[in-house]
Amino acid sequence: MRTRICDQLGIEFPIFAFSHCRDVVAAVSRAGGLGVLGAVAFPPEQLEIELKWIDEHVDGKPYGVDVVIPASYEGADLSSLETMIPEKHKEFVAGIMKKFNVPDLPEGEEQMEGLLAWSRERATPQVEVALAHPIKLLVNALGAPPKEIIDNAHAKDVFVAALIGTAEQAKRQVEAGVDIVVASGTEAGGHTGEISTMVLIPEVVDAVHPTPVLAAGGIGSGRQMAAAMALGADGAWTGSIWLTVKEADTNQVVQEKLLNATSRDTVRSKAMTGKRARLLKTAWTDAWDSEESPGTLPMPLQFMLTAEAFQRINKYSAADNPGAKELVWTPVGQIVGSMNNVRSCRDVIFQMVNEYIQAVGGLDETLAVEEPAR
C-alpha cells in the first residue's frame, strides 16, 4: 500500500485522519498514516498549545492542520453579524431547549465562541500559528485558501489541500495552486455535496490529472480504500471512524449513539452551520426539519445562533440529562453503520492495511485467465 503521496509527505500508508482531537492526530501519524487536526474550534492561543503538544508526541512523524475559510459568508462586517440574527430564530432555539428541559449554563461559565473561525479574518491567525510548526499539510475544508496563504505554505515546503464536492470545484482549486484535492462524496460526515464517492472520484481524477486526489466519504475499511484506489485515488481521507477510537475525546453519550447507529441514521442538514453537512440524526436535526422551523440561517449566522445551545446540550448530555441526550448530535458520515466497537488508532490503521492487501489480492485472482482450448 504505497502511492506517490506517501513519498511526497513522508508517510508509510496513504491514510489521512481528520480529527479535532490531538491524541488521535498524533496516534495516527505514529502508526504510519497522516493525522490532520481540525482547527476551527481553537482560538490561536489554544491552537498553539494543541500543536506544541502534537510536536512533542508525534515522534517526528508528519501531520497536518485543517482550517475553514469559506469562499463566501453572510455579512462583510463581522462585528455586525449578531444584529443579523432574527428574533424568531432565537425564540425557536429557546423553545427547543425549553421543550427538552435543558438547563442554562451555570452562572459565570464562559460561553462557547459563536463565530469560531468560519471566516478569512478568523482563520488567517490560525494559519499563521500552524505554519510556525513543522506541519506537512495545510487543508481548507471549504475550497481553496486565499492565494497568499497558499504562497506562504509553499514557501515553508508545506503542501496545500482542499476539500471539494464536484469536478468543477476541483479544477478551480488546482488552478488556484492547491497541491492535493480531497474529493468528498455525499456519504462523508460534515460539509459534503450531493455526488456519491463512487461517481465523484473518477470524475475528479480525470478532471485534475496529474494532481493527486484523496478519496473521502464512506471509507472506513481496507476494502473501501481499495475501491477508492481502483477509481484512481492516491489515498483515503477519513474522519468519522476516529470518533469511536480509544484515543478520541468524544462525548460518551455521543459515542454510544455512534456505536449503535446504522448507516441510515445520518442526515444532510444545514442545522450546524447554514451549509449542508451530514450529521447524526437526532431530535435536534428533526426540529430544524420540522414545519415549526423558521429555516436555517446562512454561514456563519447559523452557528452563532446555536453555539450556546450546542454547549448546553453537550454539557448536560454528559451529565445524563434526558432531553440533552435526545438532542445531542455530531457530524458523522454513513460509515457510522460500521463503527460498532472501540479500537485504538493503531489497530484501525493496521486493520485497514491488512484488509486492503486482502482485497487487492482477491482482485488479482480474478485476472487469472486460462489459455483457450485449441
What domains sit in the chain, N to C, each tagged with a CATH number?
Answer: 4-73+118-246+345-364 (3.20.20.70)
Give pLDDT, residue 41. Answer: 87
Helices and strands in the chain: count of H runs, count of E runs:
14, 11
Residue numbers of the chain with a pLDDT score lower than 70: 70-79, 113-120, 368-374
- What is the per-residue DSSP string for 165-176? SSHHHHHHHHHT
Cell of 312: 448546553
Give pLDDT, residue 290. Answer: 96
**Which residue spans within 250-366 are E strands per DSSP?**
266-269, 277-280
Distance, CA of 192 to CA of 341 (rounded, Å): 25
Q: Which residue has the cell 502508526?
A: 31
Give pLDDT, residue 71. Answer: 60
Give pLDDT, residue 373. Answer: 63
Tens digit of pLDDT for each residue in 184-216?
999 999 999 999 999 999 999 999 999 999 999
Give pLDDT, residue 81. Answer: 82
Give pLDDT, residue 364. Answer: 79
Distance, CA of 190 to CA of 203 (rounded, Å): 21
